[in-house]
Amino acid sequence: MGHDHKHTVTDNKKFKLIIVLTFTFGFMLVEIIVGIMSNSLALLSDAGHMANDVFSLALALFAVKIGEKTKNVDYTYGYKRVEIVAAFINGLTLFLIVGYILMEAIKRTLELNKIEIKGGIMLIASVVGLIVNLVGIFILSRGEKNVNISAALHHVLADLLGSVAAVITGVGILLFKWYWLDIVTSVFISLLILKSAIEVTRQSLNVLIESSPEGIDTASLLFEIHDMAGVLEIHDFHAWKLDDETNLLTAHILIDEELDVDQFRQLLEDISSKYGFNHTTFQIERINCRDENGNCVMNEEGYIRT
């Protein structure tokens, strides 16, 4: 029964993602075509922003699908790190899109008096884009959400701002021939894309170089473990993030031989869980380091085992 429920939930996630991905990808192509036809850089910029959404949705769908694969002896952590690599490549691609938009905006600014944009067709496309984003938000916000679907929803919400700006630009061009609005809107959308590019690249790079998980005070955790009664030494302490859902922690800990290892391990797991680590491996070693006076003796190489 539990397995069937889990399978149904996964199928629902995939279905939602496929629907929104299809709509978003289809309209991205429409925006590219209409952007070229109407000579609107704002529409082309919004298409670039939607390309980011398409990639994010495809990545979320890929994550759901690959999550169904089981670990094996060749891939003991599974395949989820592939998603992080893809996200890093996506972030780098977004920088190229931003560069193109800004260069084209500068070029059009210098030739503003020669620009002519078809406001009517641009406005229609912008309104349809706004509706597509609203439908996507409605679908993704309903029902159970995981990290990947929440991230996809965040991207579509951000794209909604670009669609609103494009609609305003279409109205301004259609009614008042304010062609400069197209340049301003394209720069605004490029900044939205740049924000996503920086965030996606930074987060994925941090995971790939196995830095400590963001938002977790690893130093405080280390100090708290070190201050536990009976802890003599901690080394080989490593904290990193495997993917969006898995924070890992390993450490080799020397403790006083009078401590109970099982109870101490449970305390370590409870403290680590409190800090946000859901996969921990502790190598615990009990040693007798006491001299004839009952005090632990330490030299430059560490505690002396007696």
Domains of the chain: 2-208 (1.20.1510), 218-303 (3.30.70.1350)
Write phi, then psi, for 235 (nearest 5 degrees).
-145, 175
> Which residue, chain included where needed, has tokens 């309903």?
142
> Which of 123, 163, 129 is CA-nearest to residue 24?
129
| Tens-digit pLDDT profile for residues 176-203 | 999 999 999 999 999 988 988 898 899 8
User: Does the pLDDT at position 306 exceed 50?
Assistant: no
- Distance, in Å, from the CA atom of 242 to the CA atom of 239, rounded to the nearest integer, reads 10
Look at residue 173 in the predicted model and tell me its pLDDT. 95
Write the CB contacts of 200 (distance below 8 Å, at least 6 apart in sequence). 87, 88, 90, 91, 94
| Tens-digit pLDDT profile for residues 247-286 | 999 999 999 888 899 999 999 999 999 999 999 999 999 8
Look at residue 44 in the predicted model and tell me its pLDDT. 93
Position 1 confidence tier, pLDDT thresholds 50, 70, 90:
very low
* Whole-number average pLDDT of the chain: 85
Look at residue 32 in the predicted model and tell me its pLDDT. 94
Q: What is the DSSP code string of 166-196?
A: HHHHHHHHHHH--THHHHHHHHHHHHHHHHH
Predicted TM-score (pTM) of the model is 0.80
Look at residue 2 in the predicted model and tell me its pLDDT. 46
Structural element, H or E, at residue 130: helix 119-141
